[in-house]
Amino acid sequence: MEKELAAPKETIPPILINEDDLYEGNLIRYAKVVFKNPRGSENPYHNLRHWLHMLWLCYNACEFYVSVLTKRQMRNLLIAAMFHDFDHSGRAGNDDLNIEMAIRGLKKHILPEDKPYFEEICEIIRPTEYPYKVSAEDLSLSAQILRDADVTQAFSTAWIQQVLVGLAQEWGMSLIEVLEMQEPFLSKLQFTTEWAQKKFDKDTIQKKIAEARALLFILNT
């Protein structure tokens, strides 16, 4: 059984140290790897902020599915969240290569206790390749969570900097061009998991569309 949405952790350290004993072990050593990876942290969009956002959301999803996912499955999901864009090129296109780089990074830095689960973690990461090659209905719950979380940066408080500025730089587009893409993207946004459907419900999506539309109107008048 799923549980009601819990209030998300306000900071990252309690998640990394596993303060609430939600998943197996802790993520401290992985955090050190990701924080010290300059290529990933300096990208305009696929950067350290994106990684923190993904970790935070996937942890929240683990709380929601606390009686569905095992502690080991939760750990695998959180590791996947931390490495799904590891060594990302920071450029548009060739996402299959970005996924390959992420998996190489995971293989290089995976801890001994997680090696038996390497392929399981990879199977959570691979479906985030865009355009999608596998239907969401055919994915495991963990992979569905990661894919849902991966498209939610528009709902963060820093969406203008992260999404508009970040993606404009990575895609070689103007801020206005990326802003114009927000309403079509959000209007078609469909989440697979019950967790994401509740967290980013229709009202939340409509409010963000209205915000993007209003900003676009102001900038174009």
Residue 152 lies in a domain: yes
Q: What is the CATH number of the domain that holds 164?
A: 1.10.1300.10
To which residue do tokens 């300096």 refer? Answer: 42
Q: pLDDT tens digit string along 65-99?
A: 999 999 999 999 999 999 999 999 988 888 999 99
Residue 44 lies in a domain: yes
Whole-model pTM? 0.94
Closest CA to 46 of 102, 2, 4: 102
Tokens of 211: 């915000």
Whole-number Å distance between alpha carbons of 110 and 121: 10
Q: pLDDT tens digit string along 6-60?
A: 777 789 999 999 999 999 999 999 999 999 876 777 899 999 899 999 999 999 9
To which residue do tokens 């969401």 refer? Answer: 136
Average model confidence (pLDDT) across the chain: 94
Residue 2 lies in a domain: no
Residue 27 lies in a domain: yes
Whole-number Å distance between alpha carbons of 74 and 72: 5
Range of the domain at 166: 13-220
Query: What pLDDT is stored for residue 2 in this prediction?
Result: 52
Residue 3 lies in a domain: no
Average pLDDT in the 188-202 region? 97
Residue 36 lies in a domain: yes
What is the DSSP code string of 152-207?
A: -GGGSTTHIIIIIIHHHHHHT--HHHHHHHHHHHHHT----SHHHHHHT-HHHHHH
Q: How many domains would you assign to the chain?
A: 1
